[in-house]
Structure 1
Amino acid sequence: MGVDFGQESVKAAKIVIAGISEHMPWTGGDSLIHADRIDWWVEHNAPLLTSEELFPNLDRNILPPSVLNKIVENVMFEIPDGATLKFDINLAVNQLIPFLKDKKDLGLHSDLLTDELLQLIKTGVITNARKNINRGKTIVSHATGNKALFRYIHRNPAVEFQSLYKINRIDHIAQQDNLIAIIGGLKVDLSGQLAVDSVGSRFYSGVGSSDDSIRGADYSKGGKPIVILPSMSVKGNSNILFALPEGTGVTITRLDVHYVITEYGTAFLFGKGIRERCLALIDIAHPDCRKYLLDQAKNSFYIHSEQSGNSYKSAYPDQWECLHQTKRGKEVFIRPIKAVDEDNLRNFFHKLSDQNVYMRYFTHIRSLPQKVLKRFSDIDYHKDMALVALYPPKTTQQEIVGIGQWIIDERGGMPELALQVRDDWQGQGLGKFLFLRLIEMAKYYKIIKLKADVLSDNKAMNLVFETAGILYHKKPK
C-alpha cells in the first residue's frame, strides 16, 4: 500500500476510480483526495495482503552469511549515529537493515517502509530526532509487511506518506543533512559505471529511484551515496568488470558513484582518476579475479604496465588491522599497506619536512619516484610488509600519518626495517607502536632478525630502539 504517484495521477486523469476498504490504514501526508475528485467508488473489504502473502516463494536471503557479515561491517563503518537513511528497494539492501540495531537516533526518508525498518522504529533505533527537515517524522511513500505494520501506521502522526515525486526529488533529498543513500548494484566496471537494473540484454528490475538517491545524498551536507554488491554473482562470476557487457544499461554514471562496498572493503571513487579508480575497485574485487582485472587494465593503458600486482599474489593479512590511541588521545587505524595507497603515500611524503626526509633517506629529495611508490605500496605480503597509520580512523577519506615497513633483501641478507612518522604526529608514541607491531609480525612470520640503518643524530628513532624493550645491537659506521 502507498501513495506512490496517486495525487499526480488524480490531477492528470479524466476519470478517477477509488477503491474503498475498511482495512486500509489512515495515514498522514499526501494521503487525502477530496471526494469531489472521485468519479466512481468501488467497495472491497478484503484484508490487505501481507508481504508473505504477496511473495510466498521469495528467497529474501540472497547474500550468504559470510558475505553479508563482511558487507555489513564495511557499511556500518560509514553510517554515523544521527544519520538519515534512504534505501533502495533491493533484497540485498534489505538484509542489511537488522544490523543497524546498535546505531542511535537514525532518521528515515525512504521509498518503502518494511517490517525490518518498523522493528528499528519500535526499538528506538530510528527516532528521526536529529533530522533538520521533518524532525520526529518517518517519511515514506509506501509500505509492505505484516498486519502489525498496518496497525502501526494507522492514524500515527509520526509516520507520513509522501508521493514518490517528493520523496525522490533531488533537491528535497539534498535538504536533509547527513543523508546516507544505500543502493544495491548488479555490476560495476573499473571506471565506476554502475548497472542496477540490467546486465547485457537481460533486465532484472524496472526503473527505480537509485540515481535520484545517489545524487541527492551527494548534495546533502555530510551525506554519503553508497553502492553495495557482493564481489561475485550467484553463478560465480565477478561483479566487478573491466567493462560492462554490451547492452547493459548504465544506471549511475561514473561521476556520481562515490562509495562502492563489497565484502572485501570500500572503494572511494569521488574525485579519482582512472588509474586510482581501477586500483580501488580491483582492491575490493574477489581475490581470484584481481590479477585478471589488473592485466585487463594494464592492456588498455588504464594502469601503467609496471604495476606489479604483488599484493594480489597473496591474501591480504587483515588480522593485523587494529585501532591505536596515541599519547595525546588521538585514535588512528593501523593496517597493512595496499596498492591503492600509492597516491596517499605520495601525499604523505610531501607533508614531511626536509629534515624528516633526510633522516629516512639520508639525502635531500623533493619527491619519491613512481617506481619507489609502487614498490612500497604494492607488496607481496609473503615477503615484504608495511603498516600504515591512517587518520581519521572512521572514514574512507584518510591520510597516512605514519608508516613502518620491512623489505626483504633479495640477496639473502636480513630484511631492512624503516619507520617514518609525519612531523605533526611525532612525540605521540606512534613510531614505537609501529615498531613493536612489526616485531610482533616478524615473530609470526618466523623472521629471526631485522636490520635498520639509522643516523646517529636521529634521536627519535634511536629512542624507539632504546625504550622498546627489544634486544638489539649497534654497529656504528
Structure 2
Amino acid sequence: MNAPTKGLDWSTLLQSGNRIFIGSNAAVPNALIDDLITNANQLHDIEVVQIQTISDNKWVDEKYKDLFKVNALFISGDKVRQAVAEGRADYTPCFLSEIPTLFSSNILPLDAALVMLSPPDEYGYCSLGVSVDVVSSAVKYAKKVIAQYNPLMPRTSGHAYIHQSKIDAYIEVAQPLPEVPPPQFEQRIERIGQYVSMLIEDGATLQIGTGKIPEAVLRYLGNHKNLGIHSEMISDGIIDLMRKGVINNSQKTFHPGKTVTSFCLGTQQLYDFVNQNPHVEFYPSEYVNSPTNIARNDNMVVINGAIEVDLTGQVVSDSIGYQFYSGIGGQVDFSRGASMSKGGKPIIALPSTAKNGTISRIVPHIAEGSGVVTSRGHVHYVVTEYGVAALRGKSIRERALELIRVAHPKFRAELLAEVRKHYWVPNYQIQTPVDVPELGGVGLKILKIDGESFDLRPLNPADERRLQEFFYSHTKETLLLRYNHHPKQMSREKSSVLVSVDQSRDLALCIVKQQGSVLEIQAVGRYYLIESNNSCEVAFVTRERHQGKGMAKILLQEMIAIARQRGIQTMTAYVRAENKAMLTVFEKAGFKRMRSEEPDEVNLQLKLQTE
C-alpha cells in the first residue's frame, strides 16, 4: 500500500482510455476526484461508471469532457440527467442486482475503483460505511483500488470491510457526508402513505425506497408490530420505529433479528445511528437485491414509485418519453422477489397527477419513447391518493377499471373512453362518482368482527365480478328474503349496473374480506335516493356464514349517518314479514313500522332530521 502524499501521482495509477468506478450515494470520494482533476496532466477519455451519486457531480461538467466520459448505470442529479439528454454521457440500463456481474464478467472491466472508506482500524480493515451496494463488487474486481480515507465515515456492520492491503493508493481527507433531510409532505402524499400502510400487516418485512412516499409510509407504521427491514436503502424514517420496537426484525424468515440493507441516505442522525450498530447490517447489492434472497422473507412488502402506469399495469419509472430520468435500480429485483415471497406484496405508489394536476399519471398507454421497467405481470397493487388498485389475477378489463378508480376524478371519463376504443371495457360499463367522503380520510373503515378483520368501503365498478360471485353464493331463501322473489341469474351486465353507482347521489357500501390479492364480498348495503320527497329506500344482504354477526347493523348505521349528513329527511325499508332477524336490525336502529298494503311485507321508516 502506498503512503499518503500531498497529491497522488495519477500517471502511475491510470492511463488514458481507462474505465473507473466512482463511489456511490452518500460515499462519493469528492476530494479524491478533485485530486484527479487537479493532477490529471495528460490523461484523457477516462470512462466513469457510476450509479446514484449525491454530489455536485463536477466531473460531468462540459469543461472536463476531454478528461471524463460518464456511463451512468443509474441517472441521478440534474447535471448527469442533462449530460445524458445532450449526448455527453451515456445511460446503461441494468438491474441493480446484476451490475456486479458486469464487473466480474469483464463486460465492463474496471481499471480502478475510486471509493471513500473509513480509515483502517487496529486490524487494518477499512469500512465501506454507508454505501456497500455495488461499491463492494467494484473494489473486488477493479485492477486498482484508490481510496479517500474519511475519518467521518461511519463503520458499519455486515459485509462492509476491505483490508488496507487491497488499497493501491489513498489520500486522507475529512469530508462531511451529504445530508438528505426528511421531505415535507403535501396532503396527497400523506394519503398515499396511509393507504400503503393499510396493506402492511404486522410481522411483514419491508423494502422502503427513496423519496416522499416511502417516508410517508413509515410515518403511518407507528401502531404496527414486529416489522422487519430487507431493503436496498434505509433512511431516517426507520430510526424511531427501531427505537420503539415497531421494527424489531423478530419475525423475519431471512436474517432474523437484523435490519438488512446495502446503503443508507439521510441526515447525520442516520449516519450516527448506523455507526457500529450491530442491529443494522450492510451487504452488497448482489446479495440484498437478489430476488431469490428477497423471496426468502415471508410477507415481503416492497414499495416503489413510478412516473406513469398504463391501464394494463405497465410501469414506467426511468424515463419521461425519450428523456431518461433515473434508472431501473432495484425496482424489478424487489418486485420479482416480493412476487415469489410467501404472502408478498409488490406495490407501486404514485400521485395521480403531475405538472400541477394538468396531466394524469394513470394513462391509457405509455408515452412514446418511454420504456417499461416493471411489467404488468409483476405489479400486485397500484396506490394513489384515491385508493388502492389490486391488479393480481385481474383481467385487462378489471385492471383498467381498478386503475381508473384510483386515477384523478377529472381524468376518469377520458381514460374510460380511451380503453373502450380497444374493446377492453364493454359499453355497458359506465363511469360514476365512486368516492364517499363521509367515510373519512381514506374512504374506508377497518372492522373487527369475531376476531377477523374486514374492510367497509363503497362498491365500485371493479367489483363487478365479485358481486356476481356474491350473488351466486346465496341460498334460495336469502334471495327470496332480499328480492321478494327468486332471481335465477346475475349477468355481468346486471352486476355492472349494480356496482356502477353514483355514490354522490345513491349509496352502495360493502363489507369485504381481503387477504392479499384475494377479495370476497361478505355483505352489501345500499340506499336509493327518492328526490320527490327527499327520502331514500334502504336494503342489504349478508353472506350466509356471516349472518347474525352484526354486519347488517354496521352497514345500516353507516348508511343512516351518511344520509343524515346529506340532509335526507327519511329512510324507508320494505322487509318480508317472516324475516324476523332483519326486522330486529331495523327496529333496534329506531325504525317504526308503518301501514303496509302488502300483508306479507312490513314497511318501516326512520326520520333522519330533527325538527
Q: Would you say the 8 A contact 1:323–1:334 is kept in 2?
A: yes
Q: CA deviation at 1:177?
A: 1.5
Q: Which whole-Å CA distance do the structure 1 matches of 2:164 and 2:393 have between them?
A: 52
Matching of residue 360 in structure 1 with residue 489 in structure 2: no
Is contact 2:465–2:492 with CA below 8 Å preserved after alignment? no
Deviation at 1:331, TM superposition (A): 4.9
Structure 1's 121 and 429: CA in aligned 2 closer, same or farther, altered over 3 A? closer
Instruction: Decide which of 45, 48, 57 is 2:173's aligned counterpart.
Output: 45
Whether 1:33 and 2:162 are equivalent positions in the alignment is yes
Q: State the partner residue of 2:277.
A: 156
**Which moves more between the two structures, 26-35 or 235-244?**
26-35
Counterpart-to-counterpart distance in 2, 1:321 and 1:144: 34
Q: Does 1:115 align with 2:236?
A: yes
Alignment of 1:89-100 (within 5 A): 89-100=210-221
Cα distance in 1 for residues equivalent to 2:558 and 2:190: 27
* Residues 368-407 of structure 1 aligned to structure 2 (within 5 Å): 368-391=490-513, 397-407=518-528
Q: 2:414 is paired with a residue of what secondary structure?
A: helix
The secondary structure found in structure 1 opposite 2:170 is strand
* 1:310 aligned partner, one-letter code: T
Map of 2:151 onto structure 1: 22
1:171 and 2:299 aligned: no
**Does residue 101 of structure 1 match 2:249?**
no
- How far did 1:166 drift? 0.7
Q: Write the deviation string for residues 222-260 of structure 1: whole angstroms up to 9, x where unpaired.
A: 221111100111342111111110111101100101111
Structure 1 residue 140, shift from structure 2 partner? 1.5
Check if 1:238 corresponds to 2:360. yes
1:6 is the counterpart of 2:135? yes
Distance (Å, rounded) in 1 between the aligned partners of 2:201 and 2:239: 20
After superposition, what is the alpha-carbon deviation per residue over 1:132-154, rounded to whole angstroms, capped at 9, x for unaligned? Answer: 22122221212233444333333
Query: Which of these residues, 306, 314, 318, is aligned with residue 197 of structure 1?
Result: 318
Q: What SS is found at the alignment partner of 1:358? A: helix
| Alpha carbons 1:23, 1:45 under 8 Å: kept | no
Superposition RMSD in Å: 2.7
**1:345-401: CA deviations, max 9, x gaps?**
111112111221222233333431223212211111243222212225x86743211
Deviations, residues 182-234 of structure 1 (Å, cap 9, x unaligned): 11111001100011111211222123101111111111122211111001113
Distance in 1 between residues matched to 2:265 and 2:528, nearest whole Å? 57
| Contact 1:402 1:421 (8 Å CA) reproduced | yes
Kept in 2, the 8 Å contact 1:316–1:381? The answer is no
C-alpha contact 1:317 1:381 (8 A) present in aligned 2: no
- The residue type paired with residue 117 of structure 1 is I
1:197–1:205 contact (8 Å) kept in structure 2: yes
CA distance in 1 between partners of 2:311 and 2:478 (Å) = 37
**Cα shift at 1:107:** 1.6
Q: Secondary structure at the match of 1:260?
A: strand
| Pair 1:315–1:297, CA change in 2 (3 A) | farther
Does residue 283 (structure 1) correspond to residue 412 (structure 2)? The answer is no
2:347/2:383 contact within 8 Å kept: yes
Does the aligned pair in 2 maintain the 1:454–1:462 contact within 8 Å?
A: yes
1:55 corresponding residue in structure 2: none
1:267 match: secondary structure: strand
Provide closer, same or farther for how the CA distance between residues 59 and 25 of structure 1 changes in structure 2, counting only shifts above 3 A.
closer
Query: Cα gap change, 1:427/1:235 in structure 2, threshold over 3 Å: closer, same or farther?
Result: closer
| Structure that is richer in strand per residue | 2
> For the structure 1 residues 472 and 436, does the alpha-carbon distance in structure 2 shift closer, same or farther, using more than 3 Å as the test?
farther
Task: Decide whether the 8 Å contact of 2:193 with 2:214 is kept in 1.
Answer: no
Cα distance between partner residues in 2 of 1:203 and 1:266 = 28
Instruction: Identify if the C-alpha distance between structure 1 residues 24 and 296 changes in structure 2 by more than 3 Å, giving closer, same or farther.
Output: same
CA distance in 1, matches of 2:565, 2:212: 41
CA distance in 2 between partners of 1:465 and 1:7 (Å): 68
How far, CA to CA, are the matches of 1:335 and 1:221 in structure 2? 27
Report matched runs for 1:328-477 at 5 Å: 328=450, 330-391=452-513, 397-408=518-529, 415-473=536-594, 474-477=596-599
Is the partner of 2:217 in helix, strand or coil? helix
SS of residue paired to 1:51: coil
1:213 matched to 2:341? The reply is no
- The answer on 1:228 being equivalent to 2:349 is yes
Q: Which residue of 1 aligns with 2:41?
A: none
SS of corresponding position for 2:474: coil
Count residues with an aligned counterpart.
Answer: 466
What stretches of structure 1 move > 6 A for 4+ residues in a row? 409-414
In the alignment, is the contact (CA less than 8 A) between 1:311 and 1:339 conserved in 2?
A: no
Q: Distance in 2 between matches of 1:430 and 1:396?
A: 22
CA distance 1:309–1:33, change in 2 (3 Å): same
Change (3 A) 1:257 1:17: same
What percent identity do the matched residue pairs reach?
A: 34
2:434 is aligned with 1:306: no
The 1:462/1:102 distance shift into structure 2, 3 A limit, reads closer
User: In 2, Cα distance between the equivalents of 1:69 and 1:128?
Assistant: 25
Shift of 1:161: 1.4
In 1, the alpha carbon distance for the partners of 2:586 and 2:243 equals 55
Is the CA contact 2:317–2:328 (under 8 Å) kept in the aligned structure 1? no
CA contact (8 A) 2:522 2:542 kept: yes
Matches of 1:235 and 1:443 in 2, distance apart?
35
C-alpha distance in structure 1 between counterparts of 2:549 and 2:366, whole Å? 47
Name which of structure 1's ranges 175-184 and 383-392 shifts more when overlaid on structure 2: 383-392
Letter in 2 for 1:219: M
Residue identity in the other structure for 1:286: H
TM-score (norm 1): 0.89
Change (3 A) 1:468 1:113: closer
Please state whether the residue corresponding to 2:199 is helix, strand or coil. coil
Partners of 1:229 and 1:440 in 2: CA distance: 32
Q: Give the Å deviation of 1:272.
A: 0.1
Match of 1:293 among 402, 415, 437: 415
| 1:174/1:343 CA distance change after superposition, 3 Å | same
Structure 1 residue 318 corresponds to structure 2 residue 442 = no
2:309 corresponds to 1:181: no
CA distance in structure 1 between the partners assigned to 2:522 and 2:220 by the alignment: 32
- Deviations 1:288-334, CA, capped at 9 Å, x for gaps: 1111111112222111111121336x8665348444555x4555432
When normalised by structure 2's length, the TM-score is 0.70
Q: List gaps (5 residues or longer) in structure 1.
A: 53-57
**What is the deviation of 1:75?**
1.1
